[in-house]
Amino acid sequence: MSGALYRKYRPQTFDEVVGQEAVVRTLRNAIEREQVRQAYLFAGPRGTGKTSLARILAKALNCAYGPTTTPCGECNSCVSIAAGTSLDVVEMDAASQRGIDDIREIRDRVVLQPVEGRHKVYILDEAHQLTDAAFNALLKLIEEPPPHLVFVFCTTELAKMLPTVRSRCQTFMFARPRLPELTRLLRRIADGERIDAPDAALSLVARSARGSFRDAVSTLDQLAASTDGAVTVQAVLQLLGAVEEEALFRIGDLIVDGDTAGLLLFVEELADQGQDLNRLVQDLLEHLRHLLLVQHMGEVPDSLPVTEETRERIRSQANQLGEPVVLRLIDLLAVAVDDARQGGDPRLPLELALVKVTRPGAELTRESLAYRLEQLEARARDGGAHTAPAQAPVAAPSPRGAEPPAEDAEPAVPHADPDAELGLEQVRQLWQQVVLPQVGERSIPLGSILNDAKPVALEDDRLTVEFPASGSFNRQVAEEPKNAAIVHEVVADVTGRRLAVEFTVGTAGSHEAGEDEPASEDEFVSLFKSTFDAREVDEPER
């Protein structure tokens, strides 16, 4: 390999441009219909191909066989433009050549005819850095240029371009490429350079580039040099300081389980491995943003920079982590971000955030109390079915003289008589008393999801379980093969029959009266105690 890969694999024709279909289509139509404008403005994030497309446009206009949408790449004009030595294509860095004297030099030269092509093309990179005086000196030239002159302004900050200049240009917005497009480009380069890199490693490189072709290819180039052409996932993580997706999902699962100790140990483990905790906080915030989008949209947006394998896991975890938990953790992690910006260590704020979100009773701030009230109201609406994941309840002291319960005694678990006829009402009782607790023991998230579901029909060994009208997302999760198998096994064990369980979604108002009644006073008091770590106080006698 010789030379930088991002220069070697820079697109040379319109067909090689990736991720800018609308821009390429418009420029091609303009060339074919001989409607090329005197000034273009290419705006977009860095590394998205603005300067490369400006060069391709120059080649299309000056090719010996043109103007053409398929420049040959072999004539003197095409070769010199690609090499950056053409006298007819002038590239200027407006960051260093930004004054009025530089623009006056352009005005003196534009009257000269092209040396070997049809057009003289000026490409001004970072054009927003030109001074106001320089822009004003260009206005007349842009509006009424010689017929052979074409300007292409490239900028990463469109808002800083003068409105008078923008009004005289045809503006194109360059979009960030999607993750699959970046990954395919990296795969093509890796195969062309004989770099051994698995798809998972290339996906990590593409995700870290955040929409920049140049950054992605430069990172791959650096990895190939440091690993002698054998790129691994671990090498990518080590170079970028990125957090593996599995670690982010594991943090989410531990939060779902309310495992505070497990979270602190996992952070300790990541720190011992040399993980950059600043990067961990940033990646965790991005992961939470993905979950929040799924919770509000009901699906994984195509715009998310994730692989197909990750989409299903994001959808599942978005359903397991409640929206209040996600919002609360985002607010708490903002403290870690602020500390990092001021040069502080983000470890303690990160650990505090994880403790507070899994142990809401551990703090008494106004935000925490508001969060716990929201959780309490949600549980009350569910009839007290949800239980707090934090601490196990402490047994109340037995009254004096009472016999202590036997240590090995276990409450009898009701089961259906296999020889008796099984009815819907009996299934409903078993569902609440036995099925839901046993499903919750095998999968806490699945047990939480099924709390909103009710058996509504039993016909010919076929049990129909209905979610509320707003529970289509929960139904999809319950129908996942792993979750459906758990439900079938528990129902068969409790009822003694192999019932086929089907999940449906009801319409508004379809639940029977009384099923969604608010929690009783005793249930509400019990929820209040578990949520706020409170106890009842007898009113003193007067």
Angle separating helix axes 132-143 and 100-109, nearest 10 degrees: 20
Query: Which amino acid, 448?
Result: S
Q: Is 256 in the same domain as 338? A: yes
- Check if the beta carbon of residue 53 is closer than 8 Å to that of residue 17: yes
The yes-or-no verdict on residue 408 having pLDDT over 50 is no
Asked if residue 67 has a cis previous peptide bond (ω within 30° of 0), the answer is yes
Q: Is 33 in the same domain as 151? A: yes
Categorize the per-residue pLDDT at 56 as very low, low, confident or very high, splitting at 50, 70 and 90: very high
Q: How far is CA 387 from the centre of its chain?
A: 30
Categorize the per-residue pLDDT at 227 as very low, low, confident or very high, splitting at 50, 70 and 90: confident
Q: Is residue 135 part of a domain?
A: yes
Categorize the per-residue pLDDT at 57 as very low, low, confident or very high, splitting at 50, 70 and 90: very high
Q: Is 155 in the same domain as 204? A: no
pLDDT value at residue 29: 93
CA–CA separation, 127 and 369 (whole Å) = 52
Please give the structure tokens belonging to residue 386. 């949800």
CATH number for the domain that contains residue 277? 1.20.272.10
With a CB cutoff of 8 Å and minimum separation 6, the contacts of 521 are: none
Average pLDDT, the chain: 79
The yes-or-no verdict on residue 272 having pLDDT over 70 is yes
Token match 């990125």: residue?
242
Q: Residue range 251-268: average pLDDT?
A: 89
54 or 520: whose pLDDT is higher? 54
Q: Which of 154, 173, 192 is the last residue of a domain?
A: 173
Region of residue 464 (phi > 0: left; psi between -120 and 50: alpha; otherwise: beta): beta
Q: Is 284 in the same domain as 208? A: no
Q: Is residue 35 part of a domain?
A: yes
CATH number for the domain that contains residue 50? 3.40.50.300
For 462, the enclosing helix (H) or strand (E) is strand 462-467
pTM: 0.57
Q: What is the pLDDT of residues 161-198, one digit of tens each?
A: 888 888 889 999 998 888 888 888 899 999 888 888 88
Please give the structure tokens belonging to residue 288. 């939470």
How many structural domains are present in the chain? 4
CA–CA separation, 445 and 320 (whole Å) = 5
Q: Is 201 in the same domain as 155? A: no
Q: Is residue 391 part of a domain?
A: no
Neighbour tally for 498: CB within 10 Å: 10
Q: Is residue 403 part of a domain?
A: no
Q: Is residue 474 part of a domain?
A: yes
Q: Is 153 in the same domain as 54? A: yes
Q: Is 24 in the same domain as 159? A: yes
CA–CA separation, 150 and 158 (whole Å) = 20
Q: Which of 156, 173, 190 is the last residue of a domain?
A: 173
Q: Is 54 in the same domain as 202? A: no
Q: Is residue 69 part of a domain?
A: yes
Q: Is 53 in the same domain as 138? A: yes
The yes-or-no verdict on residue 405 having pLDDT over 80 is no
* Domain ranges, residue 318: 245-358
Q: Is 260 in the same domain as 220? A: no
Q: Is residue 29 part of a domain?
A: yes
Q: What is the DSSP string of 143-203?
A: HS--TTEEEEEEES-GGGS-HHHHTTSEEEEPPPPPHHHHHHHHHHHHHHTT-B--HHHHH
Q: What is the pLDDT of residues 2-49, one digit of tens each?
A: 578 888 888 889 988 888 889 999 999 999 998 889 899 999 888 888
Segment 420-426 long-range contacts (CB within 8 Å, at least 24 positions apart): 422/458, 422/495, 422/497, 423/458, 424/455, 424/456, 424/457, 424/458
Q: Is 127 in the same domain as 189? A: no
Q: Is 158 in the same domain as 213? A: no
CATH number for the domain that contains residue 506? 3.30.300.180
